[in-house]
Amino acid sequence: MSGVIKPEALLCPRPAGLYCPPGDFYIDPTRPVPRAVITHGHADHARAGHGAVAATAETLAIMATRYGDGFAGSTQPLAYGETISRNGVEVSLAPAGHVLGSAQVVVRWKGLTMVVSGDYKRRRDPTCRAFEPVACDVFVTEATFALPVFRHPPADLEIAKLLRSVGQFPRRCHLVGAYALGKAQRVIALLREAGWDRPIPVHGALDSLNAVYARFGVDLGPLEAATTETRGDFAGEIVLAPPSALTTPWQRRFADPVDAFASGWMGIRARARQRAVELPLIISDHADWDELTGTIEELHPAEVWITHGREEALARWCGLRGIPAKALALVGYEDEED
Ligand SMILES: [Zn+2]
Ligand SMILES: [Zn+2]
């Protein structure tokens, strides 16, 4: 680590989020600020109302889709690997493997390199660029699933479980709850890889983000509107819907539905029961315990900071390995998107 510069001089937690004093910008601020760098499009990280926003073109497109074109005073698309500098602080983005356009923010200043992971995962995902490790002095990591009990199974095995259930109950409709940004498209892409090639009925709330994915070259195959006006009761089909739709009258139109739900939280039985999920699919867009700790081992940073999630276990794990770690306890980020 640079002997002169303390990392707290380059990035520090403020009420609005993680702030860079020399560059005068925030990363994923939770309140409106003059200048923001945004890691990815999930609503708790990407909010409307900032002045200047720098992010990948994909993230900017997702924000425009969700909030409208005037979501920021101005926007600056940044390609992965492209560097901009402000007051001597160099900023670039590296793929985070979380959702389309998701990025880690690499901040360099006076010989010090800090990497802010945003949300990330290390598993293969056909809908976004894979996480790229960037050597750094300080790794600022998420910790959504930072407990040793969280070990996500391979996603393709969960998709196989879904297809097995469809084979077992061919007269029922399989209704899969999946968050609108990232999870829904990943489930669709994994179904395609598993050979499910017929049109997939989707709830209308997924249309605009599906279109963004298609615009950026992610092939989701044929999709159709999940409305009974156009088709019968969807017996034998796999229907995708955001979780919010599963508790509305919309879902009563389906033939004796098997309620499925794709989420990292489905690894917790109580959560599946609480949602009355008949077929929990453990598919997460966040790193699990092994991915979180494996990434820290791989990067071997001098220091680890933890932004949000279950900070204590990860901080303790770092401490046992002689890596100083601190929990930033940033508020305003939620688990809910997974
Ligand atoms: Zn996220
Ligand atoms: Zn998050």
* Nearest listed ligand to the Cα of residue 144: 2
Quote the ligand 2 centre to 162 CA distance (angstroms). 26
Q: Note the pLDDT of residue 333.
A: 84
Quote the ligand 2 centre to 65 CA distance (angstroms). 19
Q: Note the pLDDT of residue 244.
A: 87
Evaluate whether 128 touches 98 at the Cβ level (below 8 Å).
yes
Mapped onto helix, strand or coil, the DSSP state of residue 247 is helix
Q: Note the pLDDT of residue 2.
A: 53
What order of strands is seen across the sheet that includes strand 50-55? 12-14, 17-20, 25-27, 35-37, 50-55, 72-77
Q: Note the pLDDT of residue 147.
A: 95
* Nearest listed ligand to the Cα of residue 102: 1
Q: Note the pLDDT of residue 3.
A: 62
pLDDT digits (tens, 9 = 90+) for 274-329: 888 999 999 999 999 999 999 999 999 999 999 988 999 999 999 999 999 999 98
Tokens linked to 299: 């990067």
For 258-282, b/e burial (b = at least 16 CB within 10 A) is bbbbbbbbbbeeeebeebebebbbb
Q: Note the pLDDT of residue 308.
A: 87
Task: Tell me the C-alpha distance between 286 and 265, whole Å.
Answer: 10
Phi and psi for 118 in degrees, rounded to 5? 60, -160
Phi and psi for 198 in degrees, rounded to 5? -85, 165
Q: Note the pLDDT of residue 337.
A: 58
For the chain, give the mean pLDDT.
94
Taking the CA atoms of the chain, what radius of gyration do you get in angstroms?
Answer: 20
Quote the ligand 2 centre to 83 CA distance (angstroms). 24
Low-confidence ranges of the chain (pLDDT < 50): none
* Nearest listed ligand to the Cα of residue 41: 1
Q: Note the pLDDT of residue 143.
A: 95
Tokens linked to 205: 């709330």
Quote the ligand 1 centre to 236 CA distance (angstroms). 32
What is the pTM for the complete model shown?
A: 0.95
Q: Note the pLDDT of residue 138.
A: 98
Task: Tell me the C-alpha distance between 84 and 288, whole Å.
Answer: 32
